[in-house]
Structure 1
């Protein structure tokens, strides 16, 4: 059975941040401060998303909890999620990251379907266009964290 996604858009951005740094930003579902549409989630810090994981998020516009389902994860390359906002609309968002000669290429595809999809698309289209760019900016602001030096066992008497 094939499903059609009547409303779709793919937005891209280039970043000077490494693919690893961008990937860590995407999969840190507990910190979505960079996202223009999502305010917070109920995901614990340090959790690594896996296919089949379901969590809740709250949008920036109204304090309405939405259900998010992780569909596919290809570490360092792809994260695909489905968002169930309201009965009558379903959204699929796919993040792809690739390393290029010019830096890291971020692609964010947004697809909607359902009888409320045209209304929701008219509301979120401009915000969805900025997701990839906001992710690139957030990843570039976070410097890579150096690991702390190992504790010298000879210094502890």
Structure 2
């Protein structure tokens, strides 16, 4: 119960700091709304050896819009796992996984990043924002119930640099 109060308090403070235009630059926490389709994909690991050790691995991918016919498609990847790493598993320190009322979405719409906003932001700016974020939280529409939604902490998978 204390953990839920702390998270609610933290998110309330974020609301006070955030504006609709510069959410990422004003806050170290990013909240992303995920709705699976052909440009937003989820891959759940079922046979991975990592699953035995980190549990519940899920890869979330955002395919950002191409801005010209010569540009390459950019993909942002995030990973959800019950534990951030093996040390956290050993210490039983789980990442944030919080069940909240659906009203959270309506009340916090100004600080929640959508796919459209990621496209407008562009790949490079999105990468910088996620690298600088202290926490990246995700709301997956497939986790919605009649009255609740789940907020879960993600780990950003840095792109390969060639």
Q: Same fold (TM over 0.5)?
A: no
Structure 2 length-normalised TM: 0.24
Q: Return the structure number with greater helix share.
A: 2
Q: Return the structure number with greater strand share.
A: 1
Structure 1 length-normalised TM: 0.25
User: Based on CA coordinates, which of the two structures has the bigger radius of gyration?
Assistant: 1
